[in-house]
Structure formats: C-alpha cells, structure tokens
Structure 1
Amino acid sequence: MMLLMLLIKVQQTMQEIASEKPLVTVLMPCLNEAETLGTCITKAKNYFLHHDIDGEVLIADNGSTDGSQEIATRLGARIVHIQEKGYGNALRGGIANAEGRYIIIGDADDSYDFSDLTLFINKLLEGYELVMGNRFKGGIKKGAMPPLHRYLGNPVLTWIGRLFFPSPCGDFHCGLRGFRKDAIESLNLRTTGMEFASEMVVKASLYKMQIAEVPTILYPDGRNRSPHLRSWRDGWRHLRFLLLFSPRWLFLYPGMILMIAGLLTAIILLSGTKVHSLIYSTTAIVIGFQTVVFSIFTKAFAMAEGLIPDDYRLKKLLHFLNLEKGLICGIFLIFMGFMGSLYALKMWESNSFGFLNPSQTMRIVIPSVTCLALGFQVIFSSFFLSILALKRS
C-alpha cells in the first residue's frame, strides 16, 4: 500500500514537471523571412541548450508565403498564425500565445544576436518588468542602420518620447527587448503597426513599471530584399502616437500659450490705436481656450477607457469644476457679452444709427463677441465632460 502511494506521488510530480511552462519565450514576428529565420531560431535554441534554460521559440507568422513556416516547423519552433497584418498585430498575437513567464522579442532578420540573451534574462530575473536594448550604447555595425534612422529618425523620436513621458529609455525603437508577460499584458496594448514599439515603452513608463536598459549590438540584416519598414510612413506613425498619447504637449501647452499671448496682446491693443488687430488677439484667446479644453476631453476619455493611468489632479479638478459651475460660468460670460453688445447698440442708437468711430466701438464689440463665444464654449464643454464622466460598465 505504501509503495502504491509512493508511485502515485511520483507520477503526480512527474506530471507537474511535464506541465510546467517554459521560463523564457523568444518571440519573433515573421513575414517572409525564409533567408534568415532558420539562423535566428538555431541561435536561440542553442542559447537555451548551452545555458540550461527552459525556453521555447515562438514564431508569430503574419502570412508568410516563402516557406518560413516550414523552416520554423523543421527546426522545432512553435508557430502561431496571425491573420491581421501588421507588426503590432503579430506581436500582440504572439504575446497572447507565449507560454514563457518572460518573453524576449526580436526581429527575424538576423540583425540581433539571439545567441547572447544573458543581459536581458539577468535583468528580468532581478525583477525588472521591461528590459530594453539600446543600440546606441551597444554599437551599430556598418550598414546596419540607414543614416536617416541613425542620426535623425531614432534620436529625434526618442528625444520627443522622453520629453513627453517620464521614460529612462534611450532607444525607443530597439527591436530586441524582454519583459514579464503578465506585466505587459496588463498594459492592454492596442496599436497594430510599427508604433507598437513606442506604445509598449510609453505605457510601461506611464504605469511606472520597473524598466532597465542593456547595450545591444545591431548587425546588418541577412536579407537580400528591402525591409518592411518604411521610413517616413512608419516614422510619422510613431510621432503621431506620441502626440496622441500626450494631450499636454498636443493640446494643453499650445492652448495655454495662445490664450496668454492673446490676452496680453488684447490688453495692449485696448489701450492703443490699432484696434483692428484686436480681432486676431481675441481669436487667439478663443482658439487657445478650445485647445485647452480638448486636452481635458482627451485625457478624461483616455482615463475612462483605461488607456492611461488615472490622474488624480485632473479628477479633483473635474470634481470641483462640475456641470453646474460650468453652466454658471458660461451664463455669466454670455451675460457680459450680451451687455457689452447692448451698450454698443445704444452707442449706435445715440448716433442715429449713422457713422461710428471704429476705434471706439470695436473696443466694445470685439471683447463682447469674445465673451459670447467663450460662454457658449464653456456651457457645451461642461455638458460634454459630464457625458464623459457618466458611469458605465
């Protein structure tokens, strides 16, 4: 009886060991990479073997037609088929299907060395949730990166990313990076194209994840065909994502500059003679105000949808500036504009509706119209913010 129980216990233990997930998944997005895919898979597998690491190689195939799938199967890699085209789609599908606790992603063009992943794995085991490669610290081999990307595209986009977001990363677009699977899945990454690389870094920074950098060498890729990357198109997609994810820089700061500049200019013009220029300054105030409101709309929506972490300062502000206060403020501005317009009408009436001196009447009419416009903007903006704040499941 004791022997039987011992055998059952051993069998259960063996089953548990057999069912354990691998520690590391090397994930490679693939679209017609037959020339270099075999080399990348072999390097990753040999690394696992030589360092006694329980790992798997997963190929997120995005519809290859050049035999890449057969190469991956022959070399013992696992394949997940991703129907939706795009770099981001391939990686999101691969991450969802990866079995490793940690995932290391890299291009399948042999531009990164999968035979040396120790720096990434060590940092992950230390507790970092995202480990970024940095090609500018590790070295870029001759011919590995076009001059446009090396001296303009990557440095500028990385500088903008670090300016907009509190990120320690010095190379936002390095294709070799490692992360803890559950941590990245919690970010709910959504982009489908090349901007996926920026989204991962930005959201990890916003959610204050533990991020580390390691030097990474970039080699010339081993393909004879041109890369899938399109410099200007994909560069714009990265820049557009950074702007859309930063309402402060896209809306708030430009709006505040317009409002302040317009207000100061209007004050100066009201006491001078060039009254017609007052139209431009008050227009700047109206546009600036609407731009600032756009920043609040955008951030409130992004917080409600879980795209960015909650900003408690904005929540307190919105709690204070509720619909009722917005309506009162808007009605007051409309009243001021109406009274100013009525005063200008009385001036015209006193002149028997004849010729008026523009330098006198415009100083009253233009600010009055501005108050009317701002009043209606405040009212409708308050209603829209209240709609965004509605509770929904």
Structure 2
Amino acid sequence: MTRSVVTIPAGLAISLMLLVGCGESGPAEKAPGGDQEVASLADLVGPPAASVGARRITMILPSESDPRHEIWEEAARRESARLGVVFSSRIPAEGERVADLLLRSIREGGSALIVVSDEGGGLGSASAEARVRGVAVVTLLEPSTIEGDPVPAVVRGELGTAAGELVAAAVEDASKLGKPASGPALVAFIPDFPEANQRAGVLFEAAREAGIELIGDEPFAAPTDEPARTEAIRGLRASHPGLSMVLAGDDASLISALSVRNEGTDADRFVIAGFVINSNQLEFVKSDFVSAVAFADEQVLGIYAVRTVLDLDAGEEVPDRIVTPLPVLRATGPPAPIPSLLDPEVELPPGLRGGAVKPRPPG
C-alpha cells in the first residue's frame, strides 16, 4: 500500500474510517540504490529524487539519551540543509510522551514530522489526527498504525538476509585457506554497541543453520575496552587452535579480530566477516583483509526519513515501509595477511596502526 497526505474535513475523515475500514499493508518496497557498488555513504543513499522548495521538518526524539538518535538527527539535519529545508528537533518535556509531543507539534502547525517512538505508546491516535489535518508523519524503525492502517516507517534492510550472505562468504574463504568450512566459528559483539547484539544474534543463527560448529551457546559478549576485547579474542583463538572464522556484530569486534589474526602465522589465519556502520571499514574488504561486510550505516535512516517525509508532504505516494539499503560487500580474493603494523612506510586502511585498531565515530 502506498500513501499520500490529503487534507480531509474531520467529520468526513472519521466517517470514511468507519465505513471503509482499513486496508492491509502491502509488501515492503526496497529503497533504490541497494544493488550498486558502495564505497561511501553518498554511494549508498544516492541523489534525492527531485529538488524541493523551502519547507520545514521537525524530528521528535525520545528524551532518553541514545547515540543512534544523535546520528539520525545529524544526518537528517545535513540532508535537510542540502535540500534547502528548515530542520529542527524536539524532545518531550518532563512527564510528556513522544506521542504527546507529536500531538502538540501537529496542533502548533507542524507540517512534516519525523518521529522516533518511546515506550509511552499512543502514536496511533496522534498520527490519526495528523492524517485528518494533512500533516505528513513518518516513523523511524518502530511501525505505527491508525486503526490497523500503517503509518509510513523507515526501517532497516533485512538483517537475516545480510547475515546469510556474510556466513556464505566466510565459509567459502575458509575453504580457500584450507580451514574446515564447518568451523569452529566465533560470533562476537560488544554489548554497548547499539544493536550489535541483534546483528550478532542473526549471524549466530545463520551460522547454526549452515551447520557450522559455534564456540559457545550464544554470541560472545566482548569487553568494551579495546585491549581487554583483543585479549579475550586472543584467548579464544588459543583455546580453539582450529578456529576457522570470526563473525562480528559490530565494527570494534571486527577490528579486534583483525588485530588478533595479524599476530599469528599463515597457519593461524582465520576468515573474518561481519556488520559495520562506519564506511572506513569498507577499506578492509577492498584490501581483502576481510571476506565480507554488511554496511549498516545509521546515517541512512535519517537521510531516508527526510526524503520520505518531504515526498509525503508534497502529496506523493510512499510505501508503508521504506527499507533502507543494507548491502553486503565481498572481497575479491581470499583473505590476505595484513602488512606489518609497525612499518611506517606501509599504507594501511584508515584507523589501522600500532597493533590496536579503533573505529572512528560515525559521520
């Protein structure tokens, strides 16, 4: 189902809802750009469909601090500025829910609203008033409905599909290294890394479904501290000398695995694949240091939210679910040994120097 905003008198709108009922949501529609070569965020999102006039967007965020919210907000702000659109953000007052602030913003004259929900609920009724008043509302990640009728939501690409591709790449490259394609494999993530546990979980299930022997009964929750994390992965490799692959749920775990692999001989090498949110890590794939990565850049959500709410505000039809790209990038060859980290003459991917590797903050 697609949707556009049309202003309908309140009484007529309620009558139509009662008489017509609610349609079922159609299948998710993939956002453009998912199949192209990706080297940066600009490649991932592509250009907007068309230029827009001066309009105003407000992003409503929960009051609870979350680093992802800052990334989405900054990405939306930059995209709005690039399109010549006025952008602002708001958080609820003390004791107020996101739904309450949404309703207040609608009644104060907001015309294009991006909403990140909280646990307070109530978005459906506020969104219903928005539709009656002809106000464009788009949610991020958490779908909402008006009497069962979906409010357009910008969501992530399918993690399970990407995880399956990552596991397949790791299995193929393990065989090229002479390692058993059946494992053992370590799935690692950092609990403090936003949504890394979800990504590690789907990797774990994909590996299990592929018949791979896994270390532990669940993904390994690696320490947040970089030296401790690297030491933990080093210890797991020592206790599992036949380690074939490491599957990472986040950038930091992937980079720590690279550091550990670089310490061993060719016989100790294992393959690495995983999810990353920082485009710097794409260099590891281009250099064949990593078998494959799924590029789950958080900024894409903010950018697509801006484009979608502007389309909706302009009266254009949009899907119920706007699925952001989640491309999997594959190395061109088998895993390559990383050149010496101690040689200052060796050109390395960004962030890789001195034996300890740390991802730069997104953006």
TM-score normalised per structure 1: 0.23
The structure carrying a bigger strand percent of its residues is 2
The structure carrying a bigger helix percent of its residues is 1
Q: Which entry has the higher C-alpha Rg, 1 or 2? A: 1
Q: Choose between structure 1 and 2 for higher RCO, CA contacts under 8 A separated by at least 6 residues.
A: 2
TM-score normalised per structure 2: 0.24
